[in-house]
Amino acid sequence: MVRTAHMLTGDFHEAEDLVQTTLAKTYARWRRIPRHEVDLYLRRALVNNNISRMRKKRIAHLLMPFLPETVHRTHGGHAEAVERNTVLVEALSALSARQRAVVVLRYWEDMSEQEIAAALNCSVGTVKTHARRGLEALRAHPLLTFHLVDQEANR
- How does DSSP assign 58-89, residue by residue? T-SS--PPPPPTT---TTTHHHHHHHHHHHHH
Which segment of 68-72, 125-129, 137-141 scores lowest on mean pLDDT? 68-72
SS3 151: helix
Domain 2-154, CATH homologous superfamily name and number: PhyR, sigma-like (SL) domain (1.20.140.160)
Q: Are 38 and 32 in contact, with CB atoms under 8 Å apart?
A: no
Report how far residue 151's alpha carbon sits from residue 38's, in angstroms, rounded to the nearest whole number: 39
Q: Which residue has the higher pLDDT, 52 or 38?
A: 38
Q: What is the mean pLDDT of the chain?
A: 78
How many residues appear in the chain?
Answer: 155
pTM: 0.52
- Residue whose C-alpha is closest to residue 126's, from 101, 144, 147, 143: 101
CB atoms within 10 A of CB 103: 23
The amino acid at residue 143 is L
Q: Which residue has the higher pLDDT, 136 or 74?
A: 136
Q: What is the pLDDT of residues 16-44, one digit of tens each?
A: 999 999 999 999 888 898 999 999 999 99
Q: Which residue has the higher pLDDT, 134 or 74?
A: 134
The amino acid at residue 147 is H
Q: What is the mean pLDDT of residues 93-112?
A: 87
Q: Which residue has the higher pLDDT, 103 or 63?
A: 103
CB atoms within 10 A of CB 134: 23
